[in-house]
Amino acid sequence: MDSIIESSTQEQPVDFDQVQIDDVQSPVYEDGYVGRCDASLFDDFKYGNKRQKRSAKSLASLTESIKKNGIIQPVVARPHATDPNRLELLAGFGRRDIAIALNLDVPFLLRVVDDQRAYEIHLAENLDREDLGIVDQARAASEFMSLYQGDYAATADRLNMSVTKLRERLELNRCSNKVLDALSEDKIRAAHAIILSPFPITRQDLTLDKIINEQWSVKELRERAGKALIPLSFAKFDTQPCSECEHNSIHQQGLFDNVDAKAKCGSNTCFRQKQAEWLQDTKAMAAEQYGTVLFLSESHPDDRNHVTTEQVGFEQMQICNTCESKIAVMDDSWTNEGKISTNQCVDKPCYTDCLHEQHPELAPAVEETDEQATDSEAVDTTDVAPTTPKKGASKKAKVSAKGIEVHEKVLRVAATNHFKDSGHFSAAVAFASLASTVGYTIDDAQSGAFNSLLNYALEHLTIHQIQTETANVANYMLDGSSMSCHGTSVEKILIKALQIEHANEQLIEEAQRPDAVKQAVYHAWTVTEENLSIYTIDQLKAVGDEIGIKAHMEDADKGSYNKLLKTGKKAIIKEFISIGSTISHNAPLNYLALAGV
């Protein structure tokens, strides 16, 4: 687990009667601290244990090693959320459990991390092992593909493998359990499993028996698979061109009319290529509706949750509907290609927190016990009954990088319009520019950097206290001539300044009070193709409601809004632009949230 153990100090025994983890003066609280404590003081990770079961041989070997040498590699834990005398275990469940059985203390690495990082550390335990087999690699590939929302480059980098190798591992997730077991037990090679993966589960299992009993080589299996006849009735693509194809078995029967259910394709390669092209086209169309779409082979059901209003409440569901972590999953298994599952949340920490906020009875009970359970089960929400929505602290929706980029571009315009005649801002810019250039610092400012000094001036100084006004410096910055200042994006600087002025009305003139900031932010966002194209159809549905287009359409023709949403993304955007140019509209909530108004 070298990737997790990023920093450490000399290992020290910890007396929890004397040292509390939440004491900020204690070395135990510091990220990267290495200590030792009783094994019973570790609570399981609150999101469950994703560790696959160890084989009996592996468990026996680990136990024998610990008996002989003790625990050499520290487990990974973080401060407990509610009990300063306990730790939350992120990685090292097997070592902890063996230590409990042998009555041993456990060395630990303390990580002070948030839930998302803690979840990544927990998943990484399955990766950083010498005995990580190819089936475990395939499982890990789907875990991180879900976590990184289908980003092949990021997943491949995290797993330290090429994108080609990653695709091969994901292909194995289409294999039957019987095939994967045979692969784990070295009864077949990975190439055998990959060749079998596109076929139906029953066909895979029957062929597997022949591979093992008759000792088929990879070459022999590939040749046999290439000769397999595939019923054209299984095709999702248009089979009309197949009626004249020489590989259509119906010609061998002396029939020359159109393809029917009895026709079979004798070109395995051609059939699968056309099926794959159809599937990719279908996935692309689904992405317009739902945003990120992963294939079933790329996202295991255990790595996501079906999110509903009953589970998280009405208000939170409205937020979830615009979140990047809510994806769709498309089946790519044999004969089920194209079937789609929507409302799939791949942010398990966030989902679990939302679920427990709405259903406190499902949250794990905090109990003081001498021994910890060896296995942790994920929260089962299958039979959660509908309840009256509860009012609680809502989680914020994640916005895509492209969405943030577009919003920041609009907010740059808002900031320019708002600040262009502001004497307070001009003076602050002049002060910050001069101070950062000459290296002048203020004790109360975070640093001597331009943006830090500008924030300090805006937040703490009146126009009369700033003294120096250099309007030319401010105008140079506001008119877009400068794209960065001392290495910091001007967009970032202006948006932060906008947020500060909105929150500190006592330091600014009447004309620049928060209402004026809000108006500038609202007026800067317009109904354009660039601003709307960052949204999926599902998100456009919410945006249309937020900016007033839904109300306008429903007032004129009840039901017309829902009809529009069925016409496709391009048509929706075109109609939004048309209506937006004729009515007074609001701005999307996630855009306003970025502006802090």
Give 128-164 pLDDT, tens digit per residue.
Answer: 655 567 888 898 889 889 888 888 988 888 888 899 9
Is residue 507 located within the same domain as residue 551? no
**301 found inside a domain:** yes
DSSP state of 181: H
CATH number of the domain enclosing 96: 3.90.1530.10
Is residue 503 located within the same domain as residue 420? yes
Q: How far apart are alpha carbons 119 and 95 in whole angstroms?
A: 19
Where would I find the H helices in 125-200? 134-147, 152-159, 163-172, 177-184, 190-196
What is the dihedral angle through the alpha carbons of 148, 151, 154, 160, rounded to the nearest 10 degrees? 100
Give 456-474 pLDDT, tens digit per residue.
Answer: 888 888 877 775 434 444 4
**367 found inside a domain:** no
Give 199-244 pLDDT, tens digit per residue.
Answer: 889 999 999 999 999 999 999 998 888 888 888 888 899 988 888 8
Chain-centroid distance of CA 325 in Å reads: 5
Strands 488-489 and 230-231: unpaired
Is residue 419 located within the same domain as residue 484? yes
Question: In the prediction, which pLDDT does 52 show?
Answer: 56
Is residue 144 located within the same domain as residue 231? yes
**256 found inside a domain:** yes
What one-character-per-residue DSSP string does 252-300 give?
GGT--SS--TT-EES-HHHHHHHHHHHHHHHHHHHHHHHS-EEEGGGS-
Q: How far apart are alpha carbons 275 and 303 in whole angstroms?
A: 27
Q: Which of 67, 93, 124 represents a domain boundary (last residue)?
A: 124
**∠421-424-427 over CA atoms, to 5°?**
100
Is residue 141 located within the same domain as residue 263? yes
Average the pLDDT over 433-454 and give the result.
71
**4 found inside a domain:** no
- Look up residue 432 and give its amino acid: A
At 342 the three-state DSSP class reads strand
Pick the closest to residue 482 from 468, 494, 496 (CA basis). 494
Domain that holds residue 221: 134-273
**549 found inside a domain:** yes
**180 found inside a domain:** yes
Q: Which of 273, 299, 323 represents a domain boundary (last residue)?
A: 273
- 116 or 6, which is more confident? 116
Is residue 203 located within the same domain as residue 157? yes
What is the dihedral angle through the alpha carbons of 370, 376, 379, 380, rounded to the nearest 10 degrees? -120
pTM of the entire predicted model: 0.61
Report yes or no: 573 and 533 within 8 Å, Cβ to Cβ.
yes
DSSP state of 384: P
Q: Which of 495, 524, 553 represents a domain boundary (last residue)?
A: 524
Q: Of all residues in the chain, what percent carry a pLDDT higher than 70? A: 77
Is residue 144 located within the same domain as residue 221? yes
**376 found inside a domain:** no
Is residue 45 located within the same domain as residue 71? yes
Average the pLDDT over 401-418 and give the result.
80
Pick the closest to residue 257 from 274, 278, 240, 243 (CA basis). 243
- What mean pLDDT value characterizes the chain? 79
Residue 532 has pLDDT above 80, yes or no: yes
**379 found inside a domain:** no
Q: What is the number of H-type helices and E-type strands within the chain?
A: 27, 14
Q: How many domains does the chain have?
A: 5
CATH number of the domain enclosing 223: 1.10.10.2830
Question: In the prediction, which pLDDT does 277 show?
Answer: 94
Is residue 284 located within the same domain as residue 245? no
Give 3-26 pLDDT, tens digit per residue.
Answer: 333 333 344 444 433 333 333 334
Pick the closest to residue 207 from 235, 182, 185, 184 (CA basis). 182
Q: How far is CA 582 from CA 357, 505, 526, 533, 575, in A?
A: 42, 33, 12, 20, 11
Is residue 44 located within the same domain as residue 108? yes
Q: How far apart are alpha carbons 295 and 385 in whole angstroms?
A: 29
Question: In the prediction, which pLDDT does 189 show?
Answer: 93
What one-character-per-residue DSSP string does 442-508 give?
-TTSS-SSHHHHHHHHHHH--HHHH----HHHHHHHHTTS-SEETTEEHHHHHHHHHHHHHH-GGGS
Is residue 183 located within the same domain as residue 294? no
Which of left, alpha, beta for 293 (phi over 0: left; psi -120 to 50: alpha)?
A: beta
Is residue 444 located within the same domain as residue 507? yes
